[in-house]
Amino acid sequence: MTTKSTSLIVHRALDVKIWMQRPPSVEEARPARCPRCDAAGRPARGALGLHGHGLRDRQVRGPLDVAAVSTTAVIACRRYLCVGCGAVVTVVLSVVARNRVNLDRPGCAENWPGHSRRGRTAPP
């Protein structure tokens, strides 16, 4: 007999530094739909489909800025409970890799202007 995991991840494309300064509110981060049962998170009429279910800490590893030294910081990620199917939905940054954010991983540096995986490619 197989069982489904009750924990799901939803990625948000937000800036790491902004998220660390002020995590999104319950309303700002609430997903539009449950990723498992597709129930509306906040229906136009009626009760909420995804209830706020607290915060969970995640680590941010790597430089937070282009010229910064690599660090480890902690961010708070929002969690929601789906009333329809009981899934726990965690809303995290789009750069989250499994259980942590790792800005040193390949590909992240390519998003910074003038940088590549091998280092600086253009003047500041």
Question: What CA–CA distance (Å, rounded) separates 42 from 75?
Answer: 25
Tokens representing residue 8 in the block? 């799901």
pLDDT of 36 higher than 80: yes
Of the two residues 96 and 29, the one the predictor is more confident about is 29
pLDDT of 117 higher than 70: no
Helix (H, G, I), strand (E, B) or coil at 110: helix
pTM higher than 0.75 for the full model? no
Mean pLDDT over 86-111 rounds to 63
pLDDT of 12 higher than 70: yes
Tokens representing residue 119 in the block? 């280092």
